[in-house]
């Protein structure tokens, strides 16, 4: 195999696929990147057997072929070469020669036949979103996934396609984040699957434009396909909890709160707390939202957000981190806080189908 490629373009391609390369794999081939040269395209692939990432880059290919080289070392060399044109050539022993300007290096690779084969599956449904929409959806909910929970089904994001609606859901048992967003196109059957958190995070990392991303979902695998990259992942097997049962049917009060001001005050009073088990107290009364925090080791503080609220006073306490995270991901200028009393679930309703339900802390 022999080709010439832009060092800068090759580096960007390697940066897209490098995240699946770990440090502890017992299989040496999983530390390598698969390089396939044909026509005018190089295809680069990495995998950890759970997630597989593939991307392509234009190249001048003199001899087509397939090989693998150590991914991290390859990217380190490419990033440090001084010239832009890189010449790659490998022999029958899969020893790769890299020439860039007056620099020459050799990498010892492994046969491409040892690289794990691509996961094949038959899609049962297909959804198409804008990259920016899918990135926003995952950004608004993935913080609510808990990898500490013993229930493996909670280690991912539910994608529910039912009753002419599509919902993406994450929960750790203490809070629930949901985004309902219809795709631009939908084909196939209704159903629910659980996307691993790592795969959702990869999609956030790799989607930042206005192009389309196609989600192909099978029984045990899924693929996210864009113009520049394909992310394939195994799905988490099991039955996700009925998230709709967690959402209260009605609320006594709905209060519009400016999102950024609310977040700023939460972060302000949180500085006075000493550990993760501390809480802040929210009091809704007399057109004000009062935030209070105190700790014996540090001190105490109060901050006010002006709101429109003339109902009976309501005092409710929260883990400040749980309260701040949905606001950091909010896309609207204000959120609607829906509440009944100081001990019942509270919901924050944002724009574009976003809903966040959180249980108050029992601090008394």
Give CA–CA dist 252/339, Å, rounded.
6
Where among 65, 81, 114 does a domain terminate? 114
Whether residues 70 and 176 fall in one domain: no
CB burial class (10 A; 0-12, 13-18, 19+) of residue 198? middle
Return d(Cα 290, Cα 276) in angstroms, integer.
Answer: 21
Q: Are 39 and 60 in contact (CB under 8 A)?
A: no
Q: What CATH number does residue 17 fall under?
A: 3.10.150.10
**Domain end point (choices 85, 114, 143):** 114
Query: Does 157 fall in a domain?
Result: yes
Residue 278 lies in a domain: yes
Task: Give the SS3 label for residue 263.
Answer: helix
The pLDDT value given to residue 76:
97
The verdict on 214 and 278 lying in the same domain is no
Shared domain check, 201 and 259? no
In eight-state DSSP terms, residue 91 is -
Domains held by the chain: number: 3
Rounded Cα–Cα distance for residues 362 and 257 (Å): 23
Judgement on whether residues 232 and 329 belong to the same structural domain of the protein: no
Q: What is the pLDDT of residue 276?
A: 62
CA distances for 237 relative to 39, 240, 317, angstroms: 39, 9, 35
Query: Looking at the structure, do residues 211 and 284 belong to the same domain, yes or no?
Result: no
Cβ-in-10-Å burial (0-12, 13-18, 19+) of 284 comes to: buried
CA atoms of 255 and 311, how far apart (whole Å): 10
Same domain, 241 and 136: yes
Query: Which whole-number Å values give the CA distances from 62 to 39, 139, 243, 266, 284, in the listed order?
Result: 9, 43, 55, 60, 71
What are the backbone angles phi and psi of residue 13, rounded to the nearest 5°? -65, -45
Asked if residue 90 is part of any domain, the answer here is yes
258 shares a domain with 293: yes
Kindly list the averaged pLDDT for each block of 10 residues, start to end, along the chain of length 364: 97 97 85 97 96 97 97 97 93 95 95 94 97 96 90 96 95 94 96 97 92 96 97 96 91 94 96 82 96 89 94 93 93 93 92 92 66
Q: Is residue 53 part of a domain?
A: yes
Residue after which a domain boundary falls, among 215, 245, 275: 245
The CA distance from 97 to 91, in Å, is: 9
Please check whether residues 230 and 148 belong to one and the same domain: yes
- Within-domain flag for 119: no
> 211 and 137, same structural domain?
yes
Give the H or E element holding residue 70. strand 65-70
Question: Are 133 and 89 contained in the same domain?
Answer: no
Least Cα distance to 67 among 109, 117, 10 occurs for 109
Domain coverage including residue 266:
250-358
H or E element, residue 281? strand 280-285
Residue 363 domain-assigned?
A: no
Contact (CB, 8 A) for 8 and 85: no
Among the listed residues 223, 205, 200, the one whose alpha carbon sits nearest the alpha carbon of residue 213: 223
Statement to judge: residues 136 and 236 lie in one domain: yes
Asked if 287 and 237 sit in the same domain, the reply is: no
Question: Tell me, what's the pLDDT at 210?
Answer: 87
């Amino acid at each position: 195999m022999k080709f010439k490629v832009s060092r800068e373009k090759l580096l960007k391609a390697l940066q897209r696929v490098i995240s699946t390369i770990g440090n502890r794999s017992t299989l040496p081939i999983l530390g390598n990147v698969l390089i396939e040269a044909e026509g005018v395209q190089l295809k680069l692939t990495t995998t950890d057997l759970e997630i597989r990432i593939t991307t392509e880059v234009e190249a001048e290919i003199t001899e087509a072929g397939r090989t693998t080289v150590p991914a991290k070392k390859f990217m380190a060399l490419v990033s440090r070469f001084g010239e832009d044109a890189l010449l790659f050539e490998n022999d029958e022993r899969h020893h790769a020669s890299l020439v860039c300007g007056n620099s020459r290096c050799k990498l010892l690779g492994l046969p491409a036949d040892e690289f794990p084969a691509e996961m094949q599956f038959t899609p049962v449904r297909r959804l198409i979103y804008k990259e920016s929409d899918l990135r926003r959806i995952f950004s608004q909910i993935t913080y609510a996934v808990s990898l500490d929970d013993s229930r493996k089904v909670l280690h991912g994001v539910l994608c529910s396609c039912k009753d002419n609606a599509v919902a993406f859901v994450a929960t750790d048992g203490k809070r629930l984040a949901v985004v309902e967003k219809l795709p631009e196109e939908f084909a196939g059957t209704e159903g629910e699957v659980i996307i691993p958190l790592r795969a959702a995070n990869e999609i956030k990392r790799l989607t930042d434009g206005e192009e389309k991303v196609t989600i192909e979902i099978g029984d045990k695998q899924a693929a996210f396909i864009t113009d520049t990259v394909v992310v394939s992942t195994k799905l988490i097997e099991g039955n996700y909890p009925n998230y709709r049962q967690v959402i209260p049917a009605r609320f006594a009060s709905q209060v519009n709160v400016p999102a950024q001001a609310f977040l700023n005050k939460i972060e302000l009073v949180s500085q006075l707390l000493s550990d993760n088990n501390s809480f802040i107290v929210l009091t809704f009364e007399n057109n004000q939202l009062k935030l209070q925090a105190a700790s014996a080791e540090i001190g105490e503080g109060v901050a006010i957000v002006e709101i429109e609220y003339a109902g009976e006073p309501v005092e409710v306490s929260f883990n400040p981190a749980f309260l701040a995270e949905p606001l950091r991901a909010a896309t609207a200028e204000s959120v609607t806080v829906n509440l009944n009393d100081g001990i019942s679930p509270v919901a924050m309703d944002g724009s574009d189908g976003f809903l966040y339900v959180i249980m108050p802390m029992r601090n008394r």
